[in-house]
């Protein structure tokens, strides 16, 4: 890497980082404002709000990286153009391709950071954030393990092995202990259906009442279970595509297909995860013609406007195409790559005209 290339890369990274910090701060302020309305629900207080905002920041960081790359490159290359530095670089032998090459190298660094955060930090932090929020608001203890979901409600311990898409619980076990932590009742139900008003209908139950002298067992077809456990608490264990890493998404898609279940939503999320780092390169490539082909003297406000219009337009188009793919059952890889490919073709055409 020569001196000029290193100079361009450093300037793009600096401006992209500043943009990312500003955008992240802005989005976190919006999140903070929304969460402040929920203070007082259960034990959800100001400390939990700050925990939630902090733990959701990696996900927002990952999602904002393409926009930050676009605006940062517009600022960096635009500043070089306004100060006649690009003209001096080209006079020194640096071609338009050389400028684009330096821009793409900066994109490689940004994409690497985005992948590391999106795959190894954001999924874990997002799950912890949702766990803190829901358990604080419902005052219940929740633990997710390979053996299902464990909850504690007073002196009862509940294990749920599976949650259906419609919210019904399958393979439910309830253990109740006394003040001395001795098991006094064990109950198993094949299914639990929420009826409202803190009531669940247990189906096909087997109950054992345990004492020092004897164990009494009985079976019932249906039984009402009064519990303060909120259905929202159980949403944590329902797999949310945005909270999964690329590897987890691949494993879950394979699981759904093996069990003949619908997997298109998770396939779209999987391919969206693959495309997102590539979008960074596309956004950087888009910024080049707007700087190289535009007259010098364009202010920072105009560059922000260009970046905002392109970024918002791309996000709207990407979301529209994704939803159309889900509605009409179209190929997830095609729908994920289509917006980026079309923008890439437009950017290459614009660069060709500039050259």
Give the per-residue SS3 of the chain: CCHHHHHHHHHHHHHHHHHHHHHHHHHHHHHHHHHHCCCCCCCCCHHHHHHHHHHHHHHHHHHHHHHHHHHHHHHHHHHHHHCCHHHHHHHCCCCHHHHHHHHHHHHHHHHHHHHHHHHHHHHHHHHHHHHHHHHHHHCCEEEEECCEEEEEECCEEEEEEEECCCCCEEEEEEEEECCCCCEEEEEEEEEEEEEECCEEEEEEEEEEEECCCCEEEEEEEEEEEECCCCHHHHHHHCCCHHHCCHHHHHHHHHHHHHCCCCCHHHHHHHHHHHHHHHHHHHHHHHHHHHHHCCCCCCCHHHHHHHHHHHHHHHHHHHHHHHHHHHHCCCCHHHHHHHHHHHHHHHHHHHHHHHC
Residue from 339, 298, 226, 283 nearest 67 by CA: 283
CB 187 within 8 Å of CB 209: no
Other CB atoms within a 10 A radius of the CB of residue 215 amount to: 9
d(CA 305, CA 309): 6
The pLDDT assigned to 153 comes to 80
Domain ranges of the chain: 3-138+239-354, 141-229
Whether the pTM exceeds 0.85: the reply is no
Give helix 332-354 / helix 264-292 axis angle, nearest 10°.
10
The pLDDT assigned to 258 comes to 76
Residue from 109, 149, 110 nearest 127 by CA: 149
d(CA 228, CA 239): 23
**pLDDT tens per residue across all 355 residues of the chain:** 789 999 999 999 999 999 999 999 999 999 999 999 989 887 889 999 999 999 999 999 999 999 999 989 988 988 888 888 888 888 888 888 899 999 999 999 999 999 999 999 998 898 888 878 877 776 665 566 556 678 878 788 988 887 776 778 888 999 999 888 889 999 999 999 988 888 899 999 999 999 888 889 999 999 999 887 766 666 555 556 766 788 888 887 886 787 676 788 889 989 999 999 999 999 998 888 777 755 555 665 676 677 778 877 888 888 899 889 888 889 999 999 999 999 999 888 888 876 6
d(CA 59, CA 124): 10
The pLDDT assigned to 51 comes to 95
Q: What is the CA radius of gyration of the chain?
A: 27
CB 135 within 8 Å of CB 141: yes
| CA dist list (Å): 39 to 35, 48, 142, 155, 203 | 7, 9, 20, 27, 36
The pLDDT assigned to 141 comes to 57
The pLDDT assigned to 251 comes to 82
């Amino acid at each position: 890497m020569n001196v000029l290339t290193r100079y361009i890369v450093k300037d793009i990274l600096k401006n992209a980082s500043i943009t990312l910090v500003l955008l992240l701060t802005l989005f976190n302020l919006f999140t903070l404002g929304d969460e402040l309305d929920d203070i007082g629900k259960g034990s959800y207080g100001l400390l939990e709000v700050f925990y939630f905002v902090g733990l959701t920041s990696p996900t927002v960081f990952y999602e904002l990286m393409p926009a930050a790359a676009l605006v940062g490159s517009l600022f960096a290359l635009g500043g070089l153009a306004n100060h006649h530095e690009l003209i001096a670089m080209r006079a020194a032998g640096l071609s338009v391709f050389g400028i684009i090459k330096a821009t793409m190298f900066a994109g490689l660094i940004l994409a690497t950071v985005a992948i590391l955060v999106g795959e190894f930090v954001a999924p874990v932090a997002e799950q912890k954030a949702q766990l803190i929020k829901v358990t604080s608001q419902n005052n219940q203890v929740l633990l997710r393990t390979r053996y299902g979901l464990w909850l504690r409600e007073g002196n009862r311990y509940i294990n749920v092995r599976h949650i259906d898409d419609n919210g019904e619980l399958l393979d439910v076990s309830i253990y109740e202990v006394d003040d001395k932590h001795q098991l006094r009742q064990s109950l198993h139900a094949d299914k639990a259906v929420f009826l409202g008003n803190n009531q669940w209908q247990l189906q096909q139950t087997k109950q054992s009442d345990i004492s020092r002298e004897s164990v009494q067992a009985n079976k019932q077809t249906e039984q009402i279970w009064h519990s303060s456990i909120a259905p929202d608490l159980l949403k944590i264990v329902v797999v949310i595509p945005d909270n999964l890493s690329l590897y987890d998404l691949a494993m879950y898609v394979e699981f759904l297909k093996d069990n003949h279940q619908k997997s298109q939503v998770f396939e779209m999320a999987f391919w969206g995860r693959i495309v997102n780092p590539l979008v960074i390169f596309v956004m950087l490539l888009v910024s080049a013609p707007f700087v190289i082909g535009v007259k010098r003297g364009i202010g920072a406000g105009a560059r922000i406007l260009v970046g905002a219009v392109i970024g918002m337009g791309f996000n709207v188009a990407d979301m529209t195409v994704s939803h159309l793919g889900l509605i009409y059952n179209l190929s997830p890889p095609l729908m994920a790559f289509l917006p980026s490919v079309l923008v890439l073709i437009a950017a290459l055409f614009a660069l060709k005209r500039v050259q």
